[in-house]
């Protein structure tokens, strides 16, 4: 595209417009980010046409090209909705939750809370669902033990966002590699290097903190009620736990994400007919519309009523809106202009990682949305990672180490606001106890400066979106 040289002052105008409209819509109107994103994309197009002499046909071409980059992630998200539907219908997810709740004991309550929320979030791919169901139950049990609510909240959030970050069922876990040009399962495996040590640190911290409450007696009424609902609503056979292991095995065999995950959905459907007595119609309904739980236990029904292809359409639309804005900014050179300002100070690999993490945290602070904290820095720094010969999975990992994990730490961010309201926490008080969320970005920066696990791109391989 032939435009005038883009000044950072011009490039920042659409970003400021986005921040204002997004903040007003989310914080004042309590709406979703879709409309502000599309409105900002139109505004950015007008800025490009009237201030940079850009042509609409070229802008439109840029939008379409950028959306194409996210199509792999969009297809995976649609399939993941199907996986969630059949894995709940078959009893896979209920079985994981049931046995996870069994590990609770007073002395290791905080550690058990971390592990429990990790299991649920890994199996559902949703930190919000985990916090809003199992998290609420654990808050009640923990407070009954006399454990401070900010401490319990930190353990819940750490576990919930571990799963949100590492689960292939999570929307952010799919979005980050799509923005960076990495493969989904390469991205997940690469995150183990930063998330693994961070999780171990968090686990040790919660274990030590929990020792002081070891003498307290635990009221298991809430947990027993959930387990009763799960056992009455499903045939909880341990053999169902083989299904996630089979999908992991498929991943290890390097089967591409789309057929691998779709296979997981089909296996779940077959298991539903074998273990739960479901019909083919039930399976098709779960694939399309998800599962509707009717155990009579409110917390269980809220946790398990989800999934299906339809459930992902809101997220798909959000990605398309974000990519439309990003496409305008990228095609017209405005994104490059903003990136160059930051990259002027980011010469080394470590400084580049700091730039990515700092930009993602900044977007969480000012835009109040974790999706934008992944999309905008992802598009800003993709070329910089390419020029340094760094594999795309390094960028996608840094995006999640910061964009995903810091979102619940900011009270006015949608994630932070949800956690505070759902868990009954006071703003800021829980942040020191969100150990995983606080440690992970620093581990990522450490790797950036030391070069540990910062893999170079294979010159003989072409970058490919999973």
> Would you say 310 and 77 are in contact if contact means Cβ atoms under 8 Å apart?
no
| Tokens matching residue 414 | 């949608």
- Cα dihedral sign for 390, 396, 397, 403? positive
| Tokens matching residue 274 | 């074998």
Residue 291, beta-bridge partner list: 306
Specify the residue for token string 């820095």.
Answer: 377
pLDDT tens digit sequence for 107-119: 788 998 999 889 8
Q: What is the pLDDT of residue 444?
A: 94
Mean pLDDT of the chain, nearest integer = 83
pLDDT tens digit sequence for 365-381: 766 567 778 888 888 78
> Would you say 299 and 305 are in contact if contact means Cβ atoms under 8 Å apart?
no
> Would you say 124 and 93 are in contact if contact means Cβ atoms under 8 Å apart?
yes
pLDDT average, residue stretch 17-43: 85
Q: What is the pLDDT of residue 410?
A: 82
- Res 446 pLDDT > 60: yes
**Is 312 exposed, middle or buried (CB count within 10 Å of its CB: 0-12, 13-18, 19+)?**
buried
Specify the residue for token string 């398990």.
Answer: 304
Cα–Cα dist 41/118, whole Å: 36
Nearby residues of 402 by Cβ (< 8 Å), 6 or more positions away: 356, 357, 358, 360, 361, 373, 441, 444
Q: What is the pLDDT of residue 405?
A: 93
**Pick from 265, 253, 256, 243: nearest CA to 79:** 265
Q: What is the pLDDT of residue 366?
A: 63
Helix and strand numbers (H, E) in the chain are 22, 0
Residue 456, beta-bridge partner list: 390
pLDDT average, residue stretch 18-47: 86
Torsion angles phi and psi, residue 327, rounded to 5 = -65, -40
Percent of the chain residues topping a pLDDT of 70: 89
Using 50, 70 and 90 to split pLDDT, how confident is the model at 155?
very high
Cα–Cα dist 344/121, whole Å: 39
Cα–Cα dist 374/435, whole Å: 21
Taking the model in full, what pTM does it have?
0.67
The size of the chain, in residues, is 466
Cα–Cα dist 400/184, whole Å: 12
Cα–Cα dist 83/246, whole Å: 13
Worst-scoring range by mean pLDDT, 292-296, 375-379, 413-417? 413-417
């Amino acid at each position: 595209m032939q435009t005038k040289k883009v000044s950072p002052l011009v490039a920042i105008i659409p970003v400021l417009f986005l921040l204002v409209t997004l903040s007003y819509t989310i914080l004042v109107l309590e709406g979703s980010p879709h409309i502000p994103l599309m409105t900002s994309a139109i505004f950015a197009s007008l800025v490009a046409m009237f201030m940079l002499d850009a042509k609409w046909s070229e802008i439109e071409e840029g939008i379409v090209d950028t959306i194409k980059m996210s199509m792999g992630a969009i297809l995976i998200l649609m399939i993941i909705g199907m996986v969630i539907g059949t894995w709940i219908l078959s009893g896979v997810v209920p079985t994981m939750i049931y046995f996870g709740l069994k590990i609770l004991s007073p002395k290791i309550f905080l550690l058990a809370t971390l592990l429990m929320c990790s299991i649920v979030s890994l199996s559902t791919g949703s930190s919000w669902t985990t916090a809003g169901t199992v998290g609420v139950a654990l808050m009640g049990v923990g407070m009954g033990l006399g454990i401070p609510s900010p401490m319990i909240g930190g353990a819940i959030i750490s576990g919930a966002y571990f799963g949100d970050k590492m689960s292939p069922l999570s929307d952010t876990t799919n979005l980050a590699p799509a923005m960076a040009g990495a493969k989904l399962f390469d991205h997940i495996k690469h995150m183990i290097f930063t998330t693994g040590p961070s999780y171990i640190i968090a686990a040790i911290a919660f274990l030590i903190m929990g020792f002081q409450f070891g003498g307290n007696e635990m009221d298991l009424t809430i947990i027993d009620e959930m387990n009763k609902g799960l056992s009455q609503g499903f045939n909880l056979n341990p053999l169902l736990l083989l299904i996630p292991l089979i999908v992991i095995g498929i991943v290890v065999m390097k089967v591409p994400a789309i057929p691998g995950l779709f296979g997981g959905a089909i296996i779940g459907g077959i298991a539903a007919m074998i273990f739960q007595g479901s019909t083919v119609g039930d399976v098709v309904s779960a694939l399309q519309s998800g599962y509707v739980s009717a155990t009579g236990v409110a917390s269980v029904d809220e946790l398990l009523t989800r999934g299906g292809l339809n459930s992902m359409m809101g997220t798909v639309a959000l990605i398309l809106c974000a990519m439309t804005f990003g496409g305008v900014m990228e095609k017209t050179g405005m994104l490059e202009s903003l990136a160059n300002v930051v990259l002027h100070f980011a010469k080394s690999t470590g400084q580049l990682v700091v730039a990515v993490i700092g930009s993602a945290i900044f977007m969480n602070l000012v835009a109040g949305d974790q999706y934008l904290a992944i999309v905008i820095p992802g598009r800003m720094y993709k070329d910089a990672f390419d020029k340094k010969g760094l594999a795309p999975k390094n960028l996608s990992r840094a995006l999640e180490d910061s964009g995903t994990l810091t979102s619940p730490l900011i009270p006015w961010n949608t994630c932070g606001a949800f956690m505070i309201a759902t868990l009954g926490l006071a703003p800021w008080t829980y942040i020191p106890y969100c150990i995983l969320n606080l440690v992970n970005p620093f581990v990522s920066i450490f790797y950036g400066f030391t070069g540990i696990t910062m893999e170079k791109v294979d010159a003989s391989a072409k970058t490919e979106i999973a």
